[in-house]
Amino acid sequence: MTAQAQNAEHLIDNYQLQRSGNNVEYKFVQTINDEKDQTQRVFTQRTFQGIPVYNSYTTYLIKNNQVVSALASDGFNSNFKTADVTPTLNLNQALNNIAHSEGLKLITEESSQDYGVHFTKEETSELVYYIDKDQKPVLSYALSYRLLKENQNDIIHIIVDAKNGNILDKHNTTLTCNFDHGAFHNENLATFNKADWYWLYDDVNNAASPQYNVYKLPLEAPNKGDRSFADLSVSNTVASPNGWHNIAEGSIKTRTEGNNVRAVRDHESIGYKTYNSSTNKVTIDDKDYVDGGSNLNFDFPVDFKIDPYKNWQAATTNLFYMNNMMHDILYNYGFTEENGNFQKDNYNKGALGNDDVVALAQTGMSIGVTNNATFATPADGRSPRMAMYLWNPPADADINPLTINSPSTIAGNLSVSFAEFGADLPTTPITKDLALVRKSETDGTAYDGCGTITNSTEITDKIAVVYKGGNCDYVFKAKAAQNAGAKAIIIVNNISGNLAITGSDPTINIPVVGLTRMNGDKIKKELENGVTVNASLQHKDIPYSDGSFDNGIIAHEYGHGVSNRLTGPITNAGCLSNLEQMGEGWSDFFALMLTQLPGDTGTTKRGIGTFVKNQPKDGAGIRPTVYSTDIAVNPAKYSFLKNYGNSDSPHNTGYVWASMLWDINWKMINKYGFSPDLYNGKAGNNMTLQLVMTGLKLQPCSPGFVDGRDAILKADEQLNNGANKCDIWQAFSDRGLGYSADQGSPYSRIDGTEAFDMPPKEVLNCDLSTNELKASTLQMYPNPAKDMVYIIDKSIKNDIKVDIVDMTGKVVSSKTVKFDGQKGSVSTEHLPKGVYILKFETDNGIVTKKLIKN
Q: What is the CATH number of the domain that holds 838?
A: 2.60.40.1930
Of 47-56, 571-580, 743-752, 824-833, the least confident: 824-833
pLDDT at 200 over 70: no
Report CA-CA distances (Å) from 135 to 53, 194, 492: 12, 57, 63
User: How many domains, the chain?
Assistant: 6
241 with 356, same domain?
yes
| Structural domain range at position 605 | 588-735
In a domain, 764, yes or no: no
Spatial separation of the C-alpha atoms in residues 256 and 289, rounded to whole Å: 6
301 with 389, same domain?
yes
Q: What is the CATH number of the domain that holds 640?
A: 1.10.390.10
Report CA-CA distances (Å) from 431 to 482, 487, 492: 16, 10, 19
Helix axes 725-734, 705-720, angle to 10 degrees: 160
5 vs 438, more confident: 438
Q: How confident is the model at residue 840 (pLDDT cuts 50, 70, 90)?
A: confident
In a domain, 184, yes or no: no
pLDDT score, position 770:
43
Report CA-CA distances (Å) from 328 to 92, 345, 373, 565: 43, 15, 22, 16
In a domain, 110, yes or no: yes
pLDDT score, position 768:
53
Instruction: List the beta bridge partners of residue 826.
Output: 789
Please give the average per-residue pLDDT across 361-374, as a whole number: 92
pLDDT score, position 220:
80
Percent of the chain residues past pLDDT 90, beyond the cut:
68
Please give the average per-residue pLDDT across 729-752, as a whole number: 96
Please give the average per-residue pLDDT across 832-842, as a whole number: 81
Q: What is the CATH number of the domain that holds 156?
A: 3.10.450
652 with 708, same domain?
yes
681 with 802, same domain?
no
Q: What is the pLDDT of residues 170-189, one digit of tens each?
A: 999 998 886 544 344 445 44
Q: Select from 401, 371, 657, 615 the least CA-distant residue to 515.
A: 401
- The model carries a pTM of 0.84
774: left (phi over 0), alpha (psi -120 to 50) or beta: alpha
Report CA-CA distances (Å) from 508 to 420, 487, 626, 852: 11, 11, 54, 81
Instruction: List the beta bridge partners of residue 150.
Output: none
What is the H or E stretch that residue 325 is in? helix 312-331
235 with 320, same domain?
yes
351 vs 846, more confident: 351
Most confident of 32-41, 362-371, 426-435, 811-820: 426-435
Of 54-58, 502-506, 652-656, 844-848, the least confident: 844-848
Which residue type is seen at 807? M
Strands (E), 80-210: 106-107, 116-118, 125-131, 137-149, 152-161, 167-172, 174-176
Phi first, then psi: what are they for 655, rounded to 5°?
-60, -40
In a domain, 768, yes or no: no
pLDDT at 569 over 80: yes
* Cβ within 8 Å of residue 391, ≥6 positions away: 182, 370, 371, 544, 545, 546, 547, 612, 613, 614
Q: What is the CATH number of the domain that holds 465?
A: 3.50.30.30
Spatial separation of the C-alpha atoms in residues 745 and 579, rounded to whole Å: 9
562 with 524, same domain?
no
Spatial separation of the C-alpha atoms in residues 604 and 607, rounded to whole Å: 9
Q: What is the pLDDT of residues 452-508, one digit of tens each?
A: 999 999 999 999 999 999 999 999 999 999 999 999 999 999 999 889 999 999 999
Spatial separation of the C-alpha atoms in residues 710 and 749, rounded to whole Å: 18
Handedness of CA 447, 449, 454, 459 (dihedral sign): positive
Please give the average per-residue pLDDT across 308-321, as a whole number: 97
804 with 661, same domain?
no
Per-chain mean pLDDT for the chain: 89
In a domain, 308, yes or no: yes
pLDDT at 821 over 90: no
517 with 592, same domain?
no
Q: What is the pLDDT of residues 8-27, one digit of tens each?
A: 888 998 888 877 655 788 99
In a domain, 582, yes or no: no
657 in Cβ contact with 551 (< 8 Å): no
253 with 325, same domain?
yes
Of 331-335, 563-567, 832-836, the least confident: 832-836
In a domain, 86, yes or no: no
558 with 688, same domain?
no
pLDDT at 661 over 60: yes
pLDDT score, position 558:
98
pLDDT score, position 611:
79
pLDDT at 613 over 80: no
Of 181-190, 583-592, 790-799, the least confident: 181-190
pLDDT score, position 363:
96
406 with 344, same domain?
no
> Three-state secondary structure along 437-484?
CCECCCCCCCCCCCCCECCHHHHCCCEEEEECCCCCCHHHHHHHHHHC
pLDDT at 319 over 80: yes
In a domain, 751, yes or no: no
Q: Which of 117, 144, 172 is the last residue of a domain?
A: 172
55: number of CA atoms within 13 Å, CB side?
Answer: 27
Handedness of CA 596, 602, 603, 606 (dihedral sign): positive
pLDDT at 250 over 70: no
Q: What is the pLDDT of residues 81-133, one digit of tens each?
A: 889 999 999 999 999 999 999 999 999 988 888 999 999 888 889 999 999 98
165 with 240, same domain?
no
Spatial separation of the C-alpha atoms in residues 108 and 103, rounded to whole Å: 16
502 in Cβ contact with 476 (< 8 Å): no
Residue-wise burial string across 737-756, b where 16 or more C-beta atoms lie within 10 A, e elsewhere: bbbebebbbbbbbbbbebbb
Phi first, then psi: what are they for 705, rounded to 5°?
-60, -40
Q: How confident is the model at residue 75 (pLDDT cuts 50, 70, 90)?
A: low
